[in-house]
Structure formats: C-alpha cells, structure tokens
Homo-oligomer: A and B are copies of this chain.
Amino acid sequence: MITIKEIAEIANVSVGTVDRVIHGRDGVSKKTKERVQKILTEKNFKINNIARSLAMKKKYNLSVLMPDFDADNLFWKSPLLGVSKAAEEVLSFGIEVKTFTFNQLDKKSYLNSFQKLIDGSPEAVILTPLFLNETKTIISQLDKKKIPYIFLNIEINGFNNISFIGQDSYKGGYLSGKLMHLCTQKNTNYLITDIESKLYNNNAIEGRIKGFYSYFNKNKIPFNAVSLSFEDLNNLDHVKQQLKQLLDTHKNISGVLVPSSRISIISNCIDSKKLKKLSLIGFDTTEQNVACLKNDKITFLISQKSFNQGLKSVKIMAEYLIQNNLPHQKIYSPLEIITKENLEFSQQEKWHYIDEIKS
C-alpha cells in the first residue's frame, strides 16, 4: 500500500500538501491539487486507517437525542443499544458520542434534554423528532449553528436534515396486509387497533394503516376492517373490556393488526379461547412482543431492526464528519418478517453486543 509520503515524493510536494488534498482542506492551488489528486487516484491511494486513528485525537462531539425507555415500553431500548455499539466503534476514529434521552410523553423534557445537548456544542446531532412544534425550535438552533443533523426513526419533512433513517411505514403496513391475507385466506374481516396516534407526532401508525388498506385495495381483495382505539393502554381492565365487547359483536373477525409496537398488550388482553382463532400481526420485536410470539399468541412481527437504525445513524454521521461523505436522503430499514421459527436468528448484531457488554 502506497503512503502519503510516497505520493508526496512523486508529486514533488510535501506530505502536508498531500494531506490537504486528501481531506479537501483549502490552501492548495488548483494546479497542485489536480496533480496530486491525479496521482492519488492513479496509484489507488487508500488511507491507512491504523495510522489515521492513531494520529487522530478526540475531536468530534456527536450528540444523540432520543426517547428513554421503561418497563412499560421497551421500544427505544434497541436503538439506544445500537447507538452505544456504534459509539464504541467510532471512538477510535476520534468521535465521542454523547447520548441524551427524554421522556416520550413530556415535551418539556424533550426541550430540556436538547438544551443540555446543545450546551455541549456538538459537531453533529442525531435526533428523534417526536414533537413537531418543539422540533421546529430545536432545528432552528441547529440550522443557525450549522450543525448537521439526522432524523432517527421518525420521518418528518421540510427540514435540512442530511438524512432520515427508519422504516417506510406505508410499505410496512402493505406487507402486514399481505401477511394477514396469507394467514386468513378467505375470511377477510379484521380489527385494526389505532393506538395513541394523536398523542405525538407519529405518522408511522397512520402510514402502516394506509399501507394495510392499500394491499387489499391494490390487489382487489374485498375485506372488512373495524378499528378500535384505546384511551389508556396501561389500564388493562378497560382494554380487556373494550376488546371483549368488540370481538363479541364482530364474531367473524379473523385477524388483528396492531400498527404500533404495543401488540403484546393487545394479545394479553384477548381471551385465550378467542385468541386461538385469530391471527395477530404487529410491529417491532420488543421483549414483550417476542414473548408473545414464542407463546403462539402472535403470528408475525414486522421488525424494523431498530438496533441497526441506531447503529447506522451514528456510523453514517461519523463518516460524514470524517470523510465528508453525504449519505442518502432517506435510508429505509429492512422490513424483517419475524415468526417463532426464525426469531432466534434475527437481531444477531444486537445480541452479540449485549453479550459483549455483559462480559
């Protein structure tokens, strides 16, 4: 492998100049820049990462703002883990990742956490834009300071984010339609739960429902869907009652779609006799959801591999900081179909990482 020094000799310049060309720093005349660049590509110069990371001193502060998780809602645990994992990996490239979390039900904590984040004057930010109005305030600050930012998991448009990393909710819903149809065949009567969708800026649920409908419409499959929304998913008795009532009045229902990560609650609130005759499809492999999958309470989960989302967002931002590589505008996560039978092979990166940090 050719080194900077060798390149410099060939081009009749110093290593400093070569370094400048490589990193696109200014202070090099157009002429020499072109000459060096040519030799660089000709000789197929590749930077020696070993030496690079040795030479780099801690320089970048990459801050992450995302919701915290708790026992009731473990969804955010996964991306958080992904971020930690990536943090370790990029550390040797001179990037320190600082994570700030907020209560996903509390707009104030969102703003407070951001304040702490911005006080650390980060070079780059990754955030989950959960509340729309508050996000506008936040983004204006980032824009003003010219701090690049990536949206994680929640897709909103009209901002200067360099990328969005998350699921294509519509396509996810579309896929859930296909799977539901496969499970239920001729009896196409469904229940769709519409949970808390107005609580925050979460158009994921909406998108999934739209996608679900689209599958049947586009393929010209007649179907019926009733929807049910809950005031408080933590009030289990009430949820049970609501479900019982609905399933008693609509006895022909063959499948239940839960377009959020909370399907475990729903499945646990349905009478087990009734449950056996139903196909349940939900999203995200939270620990509770996985438990239901194992017990045959749920047929399919569609996973967005949120661990990888966290991981990827950090890595991509790191690459942007170091190499100035602009990522794609939208990076959609895979729509992973999870059943009891392939569960153990999914999310290996995540489990390996958890093993690592345990030992």
Contacts and interface: CB of A to CB of B under 8 A. Distances in A.
Interface of A: 1, 46-51, 53-54, 91-94, 168, 171, 174-175, 178-179, 182-183, 185, 215, 299, 332-337, 339-342, 344-346, 348
Of A47, A92, A299, most B-chain CB atoms within 10 Å? A92
Q: Report how many copies the assembly holds.
A: 2
A285 B257 CA distance: 28
Nearest to A174: B341
Nearest to A59: B1
A342 B171 contact: yes
Name the residue among A1, A48, A51, A342 with the largest chain B CB count within 10 angstroms. A342
A215 B340 CA distance: 12
A345 B341 contact: no
Nearest to A339: B178
A196 to B, nearest CB: 26
Given A48-B92, A93-B50, A94-B50, A342 B348 contact: no
Contacts of A171: 341-342, 344-345
A325 to B, nearest CB: 11
Given A171-B345, A185-B185, A334-B342, A49 B178 contact: no
Contacts of A1: 91-92
A46 B91 contact: yes
Given A51-B54, A91-B46, A93-B49, A345 B339 contact: no
A175 B54 contact: no
A140 B185 CA distance: 55
Nearest to A1: B91
A46 B341 contact: no
A288 to B, nearest CB: 22
Given A54-B54, A178-B339, 10 more contacts: A46-B91, A47-B92, A49-B92, A50-B93, A179-B339, A332-B345, A333-B345, A334-B346, A335-B342, A335-B345
Contact of A92 (B50, B185, B332): B50
Contacts of A46: 91-92
A333 B49 CA distance: 29
Contacts of A178: 339-341
Contacts of A346: 334
A175 B50 contact: no
Contact of A348 (B334, B339, B345): B334
A299 B337 CA distance: 14
Nearest to A185: B185
Nearest to A342: B335
A318 to B, nearest CB: 12
Contacts of A299: 182
A128 B333 CA distance: 30
Contacts of A348: 334
Contacts of A174: 341
Closest 8 A-B residue pairs measured CB to CB? A335-B342, A337-B337, A49-B92, A175-B341, A334-B345, A50-B54, A178-B341, A335-B345
B334 A337 contact: no
A168 B345 contact: yes
Nearest to A167: B345
A319 to B, nearest CB: 12
A330 to B, nearest CB: 12
